Structure 1
Amino acid sequence: MSTSALGVSPQPFGPAWRTIDEIDDGWRELRPGPRLCELRARGEAFAPRFKAQGPVRAVRTIDLLPFPYPVAFAFWQAAPTRAKYLLMRNRCQLIEFEDFSGATKVLLVNPSEADLSARAGFFEQARRELLPFVPASLLTRAPGPAALLRRLGVDPARVDYVTFDHLHVQDLRRGLAGEGGRPPLYPNAKLLVNRRELETLAAIHPLQRPWWIDGALDGVAAERVVALAGSVWLGKGLALVWTPGHTLGNHSIVFHAPDGGVYAISENGVAPECYLPAASQIRALREYARKYEAEVVLNGNTLESALSQYSSMVLEKALVDRGAGGGELPNILCSSPFVRSPLAWGLGPSHVVPGVNGGALGSSLAEGTGNG
């Protein structure tokens, strides 16, 4: 697969969406220190303007399967245990919002298919090491995101857009092209993706290879893929903010919840306290923050730019409100938060931002259903 084969290119913007140049221009500063200060200031300036537009119509958070992940990656340079693995739990969000043309749209965020993600090289290795603890049958027994949407009364055909914060371990063919003669899970949805993720898929570096699935977009029609050049304000209360570092095309899904509060969906950190390690009850995080005067702890597997990811996490903090996880913790809705498990005995998050659920579903519901 190549981006030229897909025929995708950055899309023109009509009245429905807006670029967010006042944030993206901060990345033009090449010096890491001044760039960090620049992005923090730009995020703080944009946040009140974003919030003033009002909230999205509705949000639902759906827990998916847990998966093993190396402790050394989850807490880059600040590992709190000698255990090799911990568990993280995938989760996705359904967001109904009003775009700037006045139309109601439905965005599905991070609908990972566990059995497809298991094809990534990293998971093949982890499965061999953990087979006694994580049976392979678990991946096929558990319902996928589309089935869980139907349990909420949501029709997957009503989804207008699908996006992922980044494309690590994602295979989009089942969702957008169909497989085995079956139609796609989201037959009317377009993929919103930063063009840099497509460029990575077209020419994967050896150090990236364990985390990317070859052919992840094979068979997906070009018109189903919207390649974004940077940050996009999709509508009232919803934006995709380019936050490079974890991957070059990483973006964070920033939304204003119906019941109040601005949140960011992100996998830059594996727990809200990774954004305020000095306040963590995990000693290793506090000591890391003190020793290096660090204000964030990265989730780092293929760190394509550690300095950029650090700045991206600070930008996320500047954009969101605080308090959903307690105290001054920023409202970071981790897309794959780490959870307590026997794999890392005694280790668990000291702060949790609960899944956001609010507002009345309308456009995404199947005919004849209620609000769930």
Structure 2
Amino acid sequence: MADLPTVGTGVDTLSDLSRSDEPPGGRLRTARAEAGAFRGEFASTGTPDSVVTCDLVTLPYPTRFGLFRASRAIAPFLSITNRMLVIRWHDSDGRPQVLLFEPSDVELGRYTPYFDNLAQRTPGVLARQMVREHGTVLGHLARLGIQPDEVDYLIFDHLHTQDLRRWVGTTAHQDDLGARPQAAFPNAKVIVQRDELAGMAELHPLQRPWYQPATYRHVPPEAFLPISGSAVLGPGVAVIKTPGHVFGNQSLVVNTSTGIWVSSENVIAAEALTPEHSRLPGIAGWARRWQQEVVLNANTIETTADQYNSVVLEKSLADRSQAARFLQFFPSSELTGAWTNPGTTPTFSHGRITHGAQSA
């Protein structure tokens, strides 16, 4: 790998498929082969000390995005629950490490153009039925006995909706916040793919509804740890590049007492990886008719073939769950049943990952 990560140990067995000269079908074949090689290599790194799941918010999301072309539900919206994973391990020198995966600032995330526009068009009484806040990032950490200055890494599968100013601070006064926020996580670095940072510097019109680029104007550059590709961060903890949903999409991979889990927002339900077992209206029939083995979360369609290939990579890495028809894929935004959204209650959901001595 020519451009090694600046954190962790680079993964040579996983290539950057978005930079391959192969046609999309060839990249798909390569993804399957490389996943097999990486599985054994990754499992041998061990397991982290603990993985804890923390619910943040349940909110509406268009059915046509979350279950791309496949759903026959009458509901125009479904519900997804955003969750944070708190992962702890010890490095080889004994130093403790804390990683937060998807630590979304829910309060500021609502100003993402798409969701801000949706909120303005939704009657308040309906919005209160569809949006449920479960807890905050800092509140969950306090409950777990973790001090903010103990957090080493912040990782997002991609930076859609994310406003990081209160987490990593800014170099100038922020008029909308009425202050220059100090970093809530003064020792944490944001691990992000270089491709996503480059894409955010000049957004394409297809990307603009989903980012808040102005909020990054005064974020200190040293808050980021840019990587190119995949890296093992600690025993049983890796970040892998899974381009498609955005150019620099990445997924979390963790090895636990039940085997390997993969987490991202590439799909919104575990059954989207095995649609033949889905009881959601239309899903199994659509997959069979169009010979699609996965159902994408496709609010963005910049590089849909790459996203499909990335999901197959994720699918090939994840172990089977106890419900053997479904895989240990944990959507960072997971489909959640709600009476307001008929036809969108998942056949199966994980709800959480629990590993180690401490549970949520």
> After alignment, is 121-130 or 235-244 more displaced?
121-130
Is 2:23 the partner of 1:31?
yes
Distance 2:261 2:235 in 1: 14
Whether the 8 Å contact between 2:271 and 2:347 is mirrored in structure 1 is yes
Of 44-53 and 340-349, the range deviating more from structure 2: 340-349
**Cα drift, residue 77 of structure 1:** 1.1
Q: CA deviation at 1:261?
A: 1.3
In structure 1, the partner of 2:90 is 98
CA distance in 2, matches of 1:12, 1:302: 26
Gaps of 5+ in 1: 1-9, 362-370
Q: Distance in 1 between matches of 2:312 and 2:91?
A: 27
Q: 1:319 corresponds to which letter in structure 2? A: L
Output the amino acid matched with 2:9. Answer: R
Match of 1:134 in 2: 127
Deviations 1:257-307 (A, max 9, x none): 2x2311011100110000000111124110011101111000001122110
Q: Is the 8 A contact 1:55 1:260 kept in 2?
A: no
Report the Cα distance in structure 2 between the residues aligned to 1:25 and 1:164, rounded to whole angstroms. 18
Q: How do 1:186-201 residues align onto structure 2 when only pairs under 5 Å count?
A: 186-201=185-200
Shift, 1:25, TM fit: 5.0
The 5 A counterparts of 1:301-340 are 301-324=299-322, 326-340=323-337
Query: Could you tell me which residue of structure 2 aligns to residue 353 of structure 1?
Result: 350
Q: Tell me which residue corresponds to 1:229.
A: 228
Structure 2 equivalent of residue 218 of structure 1: 217
Does the 8 A contact of 1:26 with 1:42 survive in 2? no
1:121 aligns with 2:113: yes
Amino acid of the structure 1 residue aligned with 2:79: L
1:141-179 per-position Cα deviation (integer Å, ceiling 9, x unaligned): 864211221122221211001010000010111111066
C-alpha contact 1:11 1:228 (8 A) present in aligned 2: yes
Amino acid at match of 2:348: H
The one-letter code sitting in structure 1 at the alignment partner of 2:332 is S
Counterpart AA for 1:119: Y
Q: What CA distance in whole angstroms lies between the structure 1 residues aligned with 2:81 and 2:343?
A: 17
Native 8 Å contact 2:275 2:295 kept in 1: yes
Deviation at 1:100, TM superposition (A): 5.4
Q: Give the superposition deviation at 1:135.
A: 3.9
Paired position in structure 2 for 1:19: 10
The 1:181–1:342 alpha-carbon spacing in structure 2 relative to 1, beyond 3 Å, is: same
Q: What's the CA shift for 1:29?
A: 4.1
Correspondence for 1:6: none
2:281 pairs with 1:249 = no
Contact 2:269 2:334 in 1 (8 A): yes
Aligned partner letter, 2:83: R
Deviation at 1:20, TM superposition (A): 1.2
Alpha-carbon distance between aligned partners in 2 of 1:282 and 1:87, rounded to the nearest angstrom: 14
SS of residue in 1 equivalent to 2:85: strand
| Corresponding residue for residue 267 of structure 2 | 269
The CA distance in 2 between the partners of 1:256 and 1:234, in whole Å, is 12
Name the amino acid aligned to 1:284: G
**Match of 2:173?**
none
Within 5 Å, give how 1:148-163 maps onto structure 2: 148-163=140-155
**Match of residue 278 from structure 1:** 276
**3-state SS of the aligned residue for 2:192?**
strand
Q: How far off its partner does 1:331 sit? A: 0.5
CA distance in 2, matches of 1:12, 1:229: 6
In structure 1, C-alpha distance between the alignment counterparts of 2:90 and 2:216, rounded to whole Å: 28
Rounded Cα–Cα distance in structure 2 between residues aligned with 1:346 and 1:274: 15
State whether residues 73 and 281 of structure 2, in contact with CA within 8 Å, keep that contact through their aligned partners in structure 1.
Answer: no
State the number of aligned residues.
Answer: 349
- Displacement, 1:354? 3.4
Structure 1 residue ranges (4+ consecutive) displaced by more than 4 angstroms after TM superposition: 10-13
Give the C-alpha shift of residue 320 in structure 1.
Answer: 1.4
Change (3 A) 1:334 1:280: same
- Once the two structures are TM-superposed, the CA of residue 31 in structure 1 deviates from its matched residue by 0.6
Percentage identity across paired residues of the two chains: 34
1:122 is aligned with what amino acid? Answer: Y
Going from structure 1 to structure 2, the CA distance change for 1:21 and 1:29 (only over 3 Å counts) comes to farther
Instruction: Judge which range, 123-132 or 160-169, deviates more.
Output: 123-132
User: In the TM superposition, what is the alpha-carbon distance from 1:12 to its structure 2 partner?
Assistant: 5.7
Q: CA deviation at 1:317?
A: 1.1
CA distance in 1, matches of 2:299, 2:96: 37
